[in-house]
Structures are given as structure tokens and as C-alpha cells.
Amino acid sequence: MGVLRADQIARITSLVQTASMTSLGWYRKELSIDNKAAVGVGDGAMSGYDPVTEADRSVERDLRAGLESIFGDEHQIVGEEYGVTGEGRYAWYLDPIDGTRAFVTGQPMWGTLVGLLDTEAGATVAGWMHIPPLNETYVAAAAGESVATRRIGPAGESVISTSSVTDLAEATLLSTHPDMMRGEREAQFNEICGRVKLTRYSGDCVNYALLAEGGADLVVEDRLEPYDVMALIPIVKGAGGIITNLDGSEPIAGGYVVAAATPELHKAALEILN
């Protein structure tokens, strides 16, 4: 049987949706922005600017309170803004607004991420993503062993799957920002961009939703933190995709992440990058 009961999955799905939607109260409005990179906190990977807002903090507080009401202190909670609380085998990873740069500039490509990690097995268990501007939720969680990714939105609920693209020449590649890819493998990344049908930048977590539902075929990104990717791993896998780091293992530590619609496409990307 799975780690979570069906009633817990339903409660967590509702929690993620409700907490995430509160961020719209700050969206495209005047708000106070702190730069974590300016005080030596955060990755500062792109232009030395790593913004955080009261919306980030408020959503994380709501998520923490909701998870604590379900599990008490029997599970760990690891959040981008408030660190680690609780203890136990299972750890919840929270990114209250993944894509804060998009959020503060009024772009609609951002969302809330909640992922569950089995720390003893070193593997993800379940993942949630909610995209407030679209009011769409992606859920990869099951009370049994089989996990299929579901999309819940204004048009209803459906099980989604990745595309069947196997050839780089037919693939659409998404990546949040070219600055993420500067460094040791920049030339290899540029080679992939030159071989795919289309490359698009921006997106943050939404890129992985688009991959999971077949709108894109490949996502390649670097400098991710664990809370950036923990929810995305089960969402991509539950839709039939492949998501690993450069050595082919599950990227629970973040870092360099390669996600693909098919094993063939994933293999082709890794062969170039390595």
C-alpha cells in the first residue's frame, strides 16, 4: 500500500489549492520584495537577484500549518523560506512560489510545489503543483502502489501523459533561463538547443507540467534546489516521463536535471550532456 491514505491525499490536494490561490492577493499589485542574494541567502544564480515576497512566506506558513494539522510532528517539513521542522522518515518539501521572478514581474508562469520524500529509501513518494493564474492542479499521489498524474482545472479532471517523441529533431525543449546553463556543460546544452525543433525559455515549474501533459518534450535545467524539484519528480514520472540528474539517478538533491517524455529522448540528451 502507499504511504498516504485516500482521505489524506484529498485533504492535501485541497490544502495546496487553497494556500496557493491566496498568492493572487499579491499578484500584479504593489508589494515589498526582499533580495535573498543581496544578504548572502539563496542561490543568486541569475543576475544576483533572488527575490522573496510576503506572498512566498504567507503561502508557506499556510502549507506548514495544514500539513502539521494532518501529520503533527511525525513528518519533517522542509520549506524554502522557513527551513526544517519536525522529524521522521517522511519529509515534505515546500516551494510556496516557484517562479518568484515571474510572480514579481506579473508573468503567469509560476506555481506552488509540495513534494513528499521517503528519506530512508531516498525516493520521492508524491507531488503536487498548483498554478494559480490558471487555477490548475497537478497531482501525482496514490493510496496504492500505482501513481498516475492527474490534472485538475476549470475544464475538469483527467489523467495526463507525456508525448511519444523519441527524436531530438522533433522535440520541443524548455528551460527557465540561459544563465542557469552557463558553466561546465554550456557547450553541450547549446548543442542540444541546436538539434531540437524548438527551444523556449521561462516557465519554472510550469515547464514540467507542460512536459507531463505532452505540450513539450524535454526540460533541461541546472542549479535547482531540492524544494524546486521534489514535487516535479513524481509528476513527471506519473505521466510516463523520465527525470534524472546527469548520472541517471533520481534528482532529489536538485542540481542538474534532465526530464524527457520518453526514454529514447532522455538517453539522447544525456549522451550529449555527458
CA distance 252 to 119: 10
- The top-scoring range by mean pLDDT among 3-7, 183-187, 235-239 is 235-239
Domains 6-159 and 168-273 share a fold: no
Within 8 A by CB and 6+ apart from 150, the residues are 138, 139, 140, 157, 158, 159, 160
Q: For the domain covering 168-273, report its CATH number.
A: 3.40.190.80
CA angle 224, 230, 235 (to 5 degrees): 115
Neighbouring residues of 3: CB distance < 8 A, sequence distance ≥ 6: 90, 116, 118, 125, 126
Q: Work out the mean pLDDT of the chain and round it to a whole number.
A: 94
Identify the residue whose cell numbers are 515547464: 207
Which sequence spans correspond to the domains of the chain? 6-159, 168-273
pLDDT at 267: 98
Decide the pairing of beta strands 218-224 and 242-244.
unpaired
Report the CATH superfamily, name and number, of domain 6-159.
Fructose-1,6-Bisphosphatase, subunit A, domain 1 (3.30.540.10)
**Three-state secondary-structure class, residue 118:** strand
Strand positions, DSSP E, the chain: 33-35, 51-53, 76-79, 83-85, 90-98, 111-118, 123-131, 136-140, 150-153, 156-159, 172-175, 198-201, 218-224, 242-244, 255-260
Does residue 241 sit in helix, strand or coil? coil
Question: What angle do the packed helices 186-195 and 263-273 form, to 10 degrees?
Answer: 140
| 42 pLDDT more than 80 | no
> What is the pLDDT, as a whole number, of residue 41?
43
205 CA to centre of own chain: 4
Cα of 85 vs its chain's centroid, Å: 21
pLDDT of residue 47: 58
Q: What is the pLDDT of residues 58-113, one digit of tens each?
A: 999 999 999 999 999 899 999 999 999 999 999 999 999 999 999 999 999 999 99
Whether 88 and 100 have beta carbons less than 8 Å apart is answered as no
What is the average per-residue pLDDT within 170-180? Answer: 96
> What is the 3-state composition of the chain as percent helix, strand, coil, each rounded to the nearest 5?
35, 30, 40
- Closest by CA position to 25, among listed 46, 53, 65, 52: 53
